[in-house]
Amino acid sequence: MSTSGIAPKKSPLLLAAPSSGVQRLSLKGIKSAEWDRLEKAHRLRLFRRAARRVPAYRSFLKEAKVQPEAVRSGEAFSALPITNKANYLKINPLSSLFWDGSMREPHVLTSTSGSTGTPTYFGRSQKVDEQSSNVHELIFNASSLDRRESTLLIVCFGMGVWIGGIITYQAFEGMSRRGYPISILTPGINKAEILKALRDLAPHYSQLILAGYPPFLKDVVDEASTQGISFAQHRVLLLFAAEAFTEGFREYVAKKVGVQNSLTDTINIYGSADIGTMAFETPISILARRLAQKDSVIFADLFHGAKKTPTLAQYIPHYVSFEAPGGEVLITGDSALPLLRYSIGDRGGVFTYAELVERFKEHGIDLSKEARASGIGQSVLELPFVFVYERADFSTTLYGLQVYPETIREVLIDQRFSEHVTGKLALTTKFDDEQNQYLEINIELKPRCEVEVRLRAELQAEITRNLREKNSEFHELSDFLGERAEPKLVFWPYEDPLYFKPGIKQAWVVRPKS
Q: What CATH number is given to the structural domain containing 471?
A: 3.30.300.30
Q: Looking at 345, 373, 389, which one is the last position of a domain?
A: 389
What span, in angstroms and rounded, lies between the C-alpha atoms of 47 and 68?
Answer: 8
Q: Say if 35 falls within a structural domain.
A: no
Q: Say if 510 falls within a structural domain.
A: no
Residues 362 and 425 placed together within one structural domain of the fold: no
Residues 414 and 352 placed together within one structural domain of the fold: no
Residues 242 and 372 placed together within one structural domain of the fold: yes
pLDDT band at 144 (very low <50, low <70, confident <90, very high): very high
Residues 439 and 381 placed together within one structural domain of the fold: no
User: What is each CA distance from 464 to 446, 461, 469, in whole angstroms?
Assistant: 22, 5, 9
DSSP reduced 3-state for 371: helix
Type of residue found at 478: S
What span, in angstroms and rounded, lies between the C-alpha atoms of 247 and 328?
Answer: 24
Residues 330 and 425 placed together within one structural domain of the fold: no
The alpha helices in 201-246, defined as continuous H runs, are 214-226
Q: Say if 21 falls within a structural domain.
A: no
Q: How many CB atoms lie within 10 A of CB 64?
A: 11
Residues 299 and 162 placed together within one structural domain of the fold: yes
Q: Looking at 373, 389, 405, which one is the last position of a domain?
A: 389
Question: Using one digit for the tens of pLDDT, what is the confidence trace for 345-379?
Answer: 899 999 999 999 999 999 999 999 999 999 999 99
Question: Using one digit for the tens of pLDDT, what is the confidence trace for 166-208?
Answer: 999 999 999 999 999 999 999 998 899 999 999 999 999 999 9
User: What is each CA distance from 84 to 119, 340, 344, 510, 514, in whole angstroms?
Assistant: 14, 9, 7, 25, 28
Residues 405 and 469 placed together within one structural domain of the fold: yes
What span, in angstroms and rounded, lies between the C-alpha atoms of 398 and 437?
Answer: 7
Residues 213 and 355 placed together within one structural domain of the fold: yes
Q: Work out the burial of residue 428: count CB atoms within 10 Å of its CB; fewer than 13 is exposed, 13-18 middle, 19 or more buried.
A: middle
The per-residue b/e assignment along 274-299, b for 16 or more CB within 10 angstroms, e otherwise, is: bbbbbbbbbbbbbbbbbbbeeeeebb
487 or 390, higher pLDDT: 487
What span, in angstroms and rounded, lies between the C-alpha atoms of 153 and 210?
Answer: 6
What span, in angstroms and rounded, lies between the C-alpha atoms of 151 and 210?
Answer: 11
What span, in angstroms and rounded, lies between the C-alpha atoms of 425 and 81?
Answer: 38
Question: Using one digit for the tens of pLDDT, what is the confidence trace for 55-77?
Answer: 999 999 999 999 999 999 999 99
Total of domains in the chain: 2
What span, in angstroms and rounded, lies between the C-alpha atoms of 71 and 48?
Answer: 9
Q: Say if 37 falls within a structural domain.
A: no
Residue 21: which residues within 8 A CB-CB, separation 6 or more?
Answer: 127
Residue 509 carries which DSSP code? B
What CATH number does the domain containing 138 carry? 3.40.50.2300
pLDDT band at 309 (very low <50, low <70, confident <90, very high): confident
Residues 262 and 370 placed together within one structural domain of the fold: yes
**Most confidently predicted of 3-17, 61-75, 459-473:** 61-75
pLDDT of amino acid 158: 86
Q: Looking at 389, 420, 448, which one is the last position of a domain?
A: 389
Residue 204: which residues within 8 A CB-CB, separation 6 or more?
Answer: 150, 152
Q: Say if 78 falls within a structural domain.
A: no
Residues spanned by the domain of 353: 124-389
Residues 333 and 286 placed together within one structural domain of the fold: yes
Residues 280 and 414 placed together within one structural domain of the fold: no
Residues 407 and 372 placed together within one structural domain of the fold: no
> Which is nearest to 344 in space by CA: 402, 276, 395?
276
